[in-house]
Amino acid sequence: MYSALARGMPAPKSIPTDFYEILKYIWWNLDKNLDLEMIRASALATAMDCAKNGVTFVFDHHASPFAVKGSLETIGKAFDEIGVGHLLCYELSDRDGEESKNNGLDETENYLQNIQGLVGLHASFTVSNELLIAAADLATKYDSGIHIHVAEDPVDQDYCFREHGTRVIDRLNNYGVLDYEKTILAHCIHLDKNERSILENSKAWIAVNTESNLNNQVGLFTANGIPEVRIMLGTDGMHSDMIRSAQWHFFTHKKHEQLTIPQAYQRLRRVHYYLAANKFSGDGDNNLVIFNYDSPTPVTPENWLGHFFYGLNSSHVHSVISNGRLIVENRKLLTADENEILQFSKEQARCLWRKLK
């Protein structure tokens, strides 16, 4: 969600040459310049896009190191206003100094005292041992889990081995991160055989973000030993369209992993198993998407998955019911004024872009 105002933003002062520089010159520069008004605009725009794309529940991994206090509450209220369920976390990291790290820990604890959420960590290479311990303590205290980026790029593994003498999954396992049934590991691309064996026997879930991986040219996820029952799909902030994510995932991975259409669809749907297994509220049978899909060929129980991957798209979303509440009807958002949200987000985008320049 924090990157919602990035579309069309000014080019970075230095052109990135690798993944670390993409983070340093683009995303870490952006998140440092966010304030609460920009965060609210980003959340409203994201929630609106989600609703209109038939997405009724959002996992968000937020970062705003110099606007930490109240950030999760701001996002949650915006999602609630639109009518989209959520499971939020703040991205804890040592990269912006002691004060920012401590603010992140305070924000996480204050939020988890009252609202369901997770404990967020950026990635192993920006997280100290002390912060890992503190994050695990919070997860245990509030019966939560860890949401962390894992081995998205080789830099994560290289730094971990250089600084800690071990690989990322081993390190997380040693600190108990994989012991929580609510833990989500994003990406998990650059893993060795031993790490896959650890994951096979862990309680952690994996979120695959194919389009983001393609965009950043970091490689592609391969299950290869990781149980299918704990693999689900995400967007990593590329957009708010899970139909598109599922289609890209299938088209990319059908050769890469010999992935079948039913397997790809199950990866899309598995998020509901995660939410139900961990008793999170906001997702259930009273969440419903109604499509207006006029197909030139018959739709049957036997062939509808073919229609899903080769015919359906988010423009076919007609109406959306979220937690028993009609929030979209005839492709129009009912819970807020779309034009006001867009005007507000454009104003805040201009403010952010001026700071980035």
User: Which tens digit of pLDDT belongs to each residue from 157-174?
Assistant: 999 999 999 999 999 999
**What backbone torsions phi and psi does residue 87 show, to the nearest 5 degrees?**
-135, 100
Q: Return the H-helix or E-strand segment holding 8.
A: none
* Edge-to-edge strand list for the sheet holding 57-62: 57-62, 85-92, 119-123, 146-150, 184-187, 205-208, 231-233
Tokens, residue 195: 């790490």
For range 319-332, the mean pLDDT:
98
Task: Evaluate if residue 13 carries a pLDDT over 90.
Answer: no
Give the model's pLDDT for residue 24.
95
The CA-based angle 288-293-297, given to 5 degrees, is 135
Residue 249 near residue 208 (C-beta atoms within 8 A):
yes
Give the model's pLDDT for residue 56.
98
Residue 109 near residue 138 (C-beta atoms within 8 A):
yes
CA distance 119 to 142: 10
CA distance 242 to 225: 25
Residue pLDDT, tens place only, 194-206 = 999 999 999 999 9
Q: Return the H-helix or E-strand segment holding 232.
A: strand 231-233
Tokens, residue 147: 């949401």
CB-based contacts of 251: which residues, under 8 Å, 6+ apart? none
Amino acid at 299: V
Give the model's pLDDT for residue 79.
98
Whole-structure pTM value? 0.97
Evaluated on CA atoms 46, 48, 50, 52, the torsion sign reads negative
Residue pLDDT, tens place only, 17-44 = 999 999 999 999 999 999 999 999 999 9
Q: What length is written for the chain?
A: 357
In the 8-state DSSP scheme, what is residue 332? E
Amino acid at 261: I
Residue pLDDT, tens place only, 84-99 = 999 999 999 999 999 9
Give the model's pLDDT for residue 299.
96
Domains of the chain: 19-356 (3.20.20.140)
Q: DSSP for 81-131?
A: HHT-EEEEEEEE-STT-HHHHHHHHHHHHHHHTTS-B-EEEEEGGG--HHH
Evaluated on CA atoms 332, 333, 335, 341, the torsion sign reads negative
Give the model's pLDDT for residue 117.
98
Q: Return the H-helix or E-strand segment holding 113.
A: none
- The rounded mean pLDDT for the chain is 97
Give the model's pLDDT for residue 357.
87
Give the model's pLDDT for residue 250.
98
Give the model's pLDDT for residue 247.
98
